Structure formats: C-alpha cells, structure tokens
A = this chain, B = another copy of it.
Amino acid sequence: TLQYHIQCRPGDVASIAIVPGDQGRVPKFVQHLERVREVANNRGLISYTGLYHGVPVTVTSTGMGGPSAAIVYEELANLGVRVLIRVGSVAGLQPEVAEGENVIPYACIRDDGATAYYVPENYPAVASPRVFQALTTAAEEAAFTFHTGINWSHSAFYHRNPEYYQRWARKRVVSMEMEAAALFVIAALRGVEAGFIGTCYANRAEQSRGDAVDLSVESPQREVIQEGVERSIIIALNAAESLGTRL
C-alpha cells in the first residue's frame, strides 16, 4: 500500500535502497543511474528508482535526525526493501579524520532520538557484516582510503558543552552524525541488512578542545568535500551492485 510519508507504492522501489539524509544529494546519485525515474517527492523525501550497472537501485532522502529517518527506513522496509545503505556526512572525532575523508563505521552509539522507543539502549546499533564488507571491499577495489570504527549518532547538533564531544573522542570513537544508529537498529529489527558510509565535513574533537565549542562548518561546496562525497557515492553504488547480484 501507499506509504504515507515517502508516497511510494510496492513496485516503486528496488530491493536495494540508498538513503542519503540530504535531498540535495539525490541528483548526484541519479546521474549514475540508467532508466531512472522520480518515484515520489513529499516533505523533502525524494525517491528515484533506476539501474546501476544493470542492478535495480532506489535512492530516497531521509531528512535529518533519527525520528525523520526512521520513518523512511520503516516505509522502505514495508515495501520489501532488503538492503539499506546510508550515504551521509560525519564530523570526525579522532585527529586523523580530516575533512573530505571517508568513514565506514561498523557500529554506532545510540543517541539517535528514535530507537530508544523500540528497544532498550543496550541493544547494539550494528551494521550488517555483509553490507559493511561490501562497502569496504568496494572502497578497496577503487583504491579509495577510508577510516573505520564506532560512530556516534546523536540528536543535538547545537550542543555547546565541549565535554559532550570530548568524552567520546577519548573513547576512540571515530566520527559522529545523526541518522546511522536508527538505520542499524531498525534494519536489524525488521530483518533488513544495512551499512553506512560518511564523508567528513568538520572535526568536532578539534573544535571542542577548549572551553567553548566552535560549531561552525565551512561550505559543503568546498572541493575537498565534494570529492569525498563523490567517492562515497561510487562506493555505495558499487557495494549495492555487488550485493544486488547476490540477492
């Protein structure tokens, strides 16, 4: 049946969906697809379905934050999607994670704001090993470097307490963003496989070293960011292709 928020119906979506947060990134995927069509566009949730190297793929934007993204993940699962790959932005939490670099986390700290209402917080937000491996293999085959580790999905972008960031930086956490933990938890509960690749746009560990947090972010149009985003798109699509041929 028609899904209320994404306004898609069975048949509109492929078995593999790529789920960026930002609707502005959807066209960057579309240009790699063939026989592609806009399926729906409602509340900033835009869906296209097409073929990547012959494998059917849907791209749907999720909006920001766990509660918004959870709605999209759930509605795609309702329609039979079996693999979800998030492509998004992260802030680095370790000194070696520089702007424009890619991160492929295998698990998340759950401060996503949505999944605590599904299962207690001690349930792990973990990528499907098969999707994680497809992403890292795709990166390696393209000779793209990347970071891996545990990512922190949080819900308070404008938190102004330096310790909010430093406490996780001290615990070896590699990066932070807002939507991956909800992806991993909801996917696991629904029996869907999920993975995530991010591009670093700032380093919050550096920005929170002093008495106040510098929450500024430079333009995402910088070339170093755009190149990282493009790499993440290629990696995600190639991973989708390899997974799709095995579904």
Chain A residues close to B by CB (< 8 Å)? 1, 4-5, 21-24, 42-44, 61, 63-68, 70-71, 74, 106-126, 129, 132-133, 136, 148, 150, 154-159, 164, 171-172, 178, 188-189, 191, 216-217
Contacts and interface: CB of A to CB of B under 8 A. Distances in A.
A121 B119 contact: no
A236 B92 CA distance: 34
Contact of A64 (B71, B74, B158): B71
Interface centre among A119, A136, A158 (most CB of B within 10 A): A158
Contacts of A70: 65, 155-158
Contact of A66 (B67, B74, B133, B164): B67
A159 B111 CA distance: 18
Dominant secondary structure of chain A at its interface with chain B:
loop
A113 B65 contact: yes
Contact of A114 (B65, B133, B150): B65
21 contacts: A43-B64, A44-B44, A64-B65, A65-B67, A65-B70, A65-B113, A65-B114, A67-B155, A68-B68, A71-B158, A74-B157, A108-B124, A109-B120, A111-B122, A112-B113, A114-B156, A117-B154, A124-B124, A124-B150, A129-B129, A129-B133
Contacts of A65: 63-68, 70-71, 113-114
A64 to B, nearest CB: 4
B178 A67 contact: yes
Given A5-B157, A24-B42, 8 more contacts: A1-B216, A65-B71, A66-B113, A70-B155, A70-B157, A107-B107, A109-B120, A111-B117
A43 B220 CA distance: 12
B23 A155 contact: no
Given A67-B66, A67-B178, A106 B129 contact: yes
A156 B63 contact: no
Contacts of A1: 216
Nearest to A191: B172
A66 B67 CA distance: 7
